[in-house]
Amino acid sequence: MKSIKPNHTQAAILRARRIKSRLVAMGVKQVDIARDLRVTRGHVSAVICGAYASPRVETRIAELLGEDPGKLWGKKA
């Protein structure tokens, strides 16, 4: 079970909106990511919103967007 992170700062909200917008623009649905990774759509959404930390989901989304996972999720190396 992944830990829940209370991360609803303005920066996290803006990051989530930006990620969601980019996925929609590419025609990628959260349910497709969830299906590929065998997790729920809610889990993918929670990771995007910063409520859960899941390196596997974060990495897959970063790959789809062509971004470095650390940069996309605002994590230090």
Per-residue pLDDT of the chain (77 residues; tens, 9 = 90+): 454 455 567 888 899 999 999 999 999 999 999 999 999 999 999 999 988 889 999 999 999 999 999 999 887 65
Q: Does some domain include residue 70?
A: no
Q: Does some domain include residue 32?
A: yes
Q: What is the pLDDT of residue 76?
A: 61
Q: Does some domain include residue 75?
A: no
Domain count, the chain: 1
Q: Does some domain include residue 42?
A: yes
Q: What is the pLDDT of residue 12?
A: 84
The per-type count for the chain, helices as H runs and strands as E runs, is 5, 0
Structural domain for 52, as ranges: 10-65
- Contact residues for 32 (Cβ-Cβ < 8 A; gap 6+): none
Q: Does some domain include residue 2?
A: no
Q: Does some domain include residue 49?
A: yes
Q: Does some domain include residue 26?
A: yes
Q: Does some domain include residue 72?
A: no
